Structure 1
């Protein structure tokens, strides 16, 4: 196996020289201000070794990567009854599509498109004040990442709240079908704020390690989820983690991954490593352009794939 330090350094150098970097998520004004030249990558191996390159220490808005962790919390609270309210199939549509939701009577196709993630947040919220529910999410991220400094970027949260009309429509539409239990504005408030959590590549690579290690917390060896649940979350990430670009990501990269429109991608190599890459420019399906390319080159160089080396 090649030396990962050299591989990451080479990838970071290649990404710095790429002329096509995608486009930042301008529909969220605060994200439109992020420098598209940024690129960071972090890998935490099964042995606990940490390797970083580029802007891996700079916090960024994790956006939809948060959905992996709220899904974990929701499953911990209601178990498999969650699947009565959200499906487990790839969407094949844009992450904020309302047309598919109409055809399927208010039941989102999977927990990683926006409608599905709003249902998951509604589950996390139920029985708790919004501030407490959001606090649980942030504290969970701090615990997994081993960083008590992780916070919500309030400017991003306000920007999303002010412009998130499609998400408002999705939540109200599902409320009409009885698939949102709390007042939509409360559920959306938590949802917008969870997406605005700011973390670095290093933070997220640490936070994802339990999915690479059969559900165990790597530092304490405490079990976060069962081995079976970790496997199933990884399966959903592989099939649905990149919206209507999920098939292409699986084809080229070959590992479970979850993207966010802040430009981050969390990648899991079961039994081997947890990875986070960040580059804010997005491709046509809303996934990090350079992040996807970097992960493709990393997994190829290291022989990492759930489909075999």
Structure 2
């Protein structure tokens, strides 16, 4: 299939449609990003690379990092112990909602909303001697790129205003679902969200979820096929907060979004694809990113359904 030709068509359509949206402002550092940035990169399971636009420029991946956190936790902790502390159901609520968390006695609905990711970070802190370093090493290994790093300015910006996250973690601490010091878990969580990556790097990282848990460069089995199946299922049902159903309806691929404007999606046994456009819709998902991936599955006539 002529993926480069298809991506070129998508780029032309996105430029012509002039989609609405606004850059996230509740994290001051994200508000500084130029709203007209647009990039897309597709990596196939046989190592082909296709791209357009600002696909090489790094941006704050934000909640996309939650997928890597969960992957690492599954390697460090027994599955049953993880799923006792965080559920696998769609939330149907905003990513930072406190209401559902209190109603369900401190058990987050899934690991891809903020409260669930905080529990996953708490699990990682229990198992890792140097969480920030070991997490970064894991992401670099998945991406095959040793230059990926945290953006300290973004992390500091989140720490300065992360009041809802502090409320969530203290609520869960009260219910006994946080084992480590809440402030230390928050610091680790904010660092993971601040990861700076490009569309190319994200697509190359997430191809492991399209390649049955194996890295492309050497076919190393990083994740088991069972874990990949479960993680793809969670991305499909929970990867877009309270817009997961809409993404499944329009795109039909497992994926994850972040308020930095990035979206990554996976077509098992075929490819992974990342899009970046900082202007978000009211649900916190990239407007152009959603449209780009909808066009991709429409033009190719393929999805997991």
Who is 1:85 aligned against? 85
Cα offset, 1:232, TM superposition: 0.6
Q: Matches of 2:217 and 2:5 in 1, distance apart? A: 26
Q: Does the CA contact (< 8 Å) of 1:21 and 1:36 recur in 2?
A: no
Deviations 1:41-85 (A, max 9, x none): 000011100111010000000000000000000111112110000
Cα offset, 1:127, TM superposition: 4.3
Who is 2:34 aligned against? 35
Who is 1:216 aligned against? 214
Q: Matches of 1:18 and 1:29 in 2, distance apart? A: 28
How many residues align? The count is 304
Q: Is 2:57 aligned against 1:58? A: yes
Q: Matches of 1:254 and 1:78 in 2, distance apart? A: 30
Q: RMSD of the TM alignment (CA)?
A: 0.9
TM-score by length of 2: 0.98
Q: What secondary structure sits across from 2:178 in the alignment?
A: coil
Segments of 5+ residues of structure 1 without an aligned counterpart are none
Who is 1:277 aligned against? 275
Who is 2:11 aligned against? 12
Who is 1:142 aligned against? 140
Q: Is 2:99 aligned against 1:99? A: yes
TM-score by length of 1: 0.97
Task: Could you list the structure 1 runs, at least 4 aligned residues long, displaced by more than 4 angstroms after superposition.
Answer: none
Counterpart of 1:226 (choices 224, 228, 232) is 224
Deviations 1:166-222 (A, max 9, x none): 001101110000101100000000000000000000000000011001111111111
Who is 1:70 aligned against? 69
Q: Matches of 2:93 and 2:140 in 1, distance apart? A: 32
Q: Matches of 2:48 and 2:128 in 1, distance apart? A: 38
Q: Does the CA contact (< 8 Å) of 1:16 and 1:39 recur in 2?
A: no
Q: Matches of 1:92 and 1:213 in 2, distance apart? A: 30
Q: What secondary structure sits across from 1:251 in the alignment?
A: helix
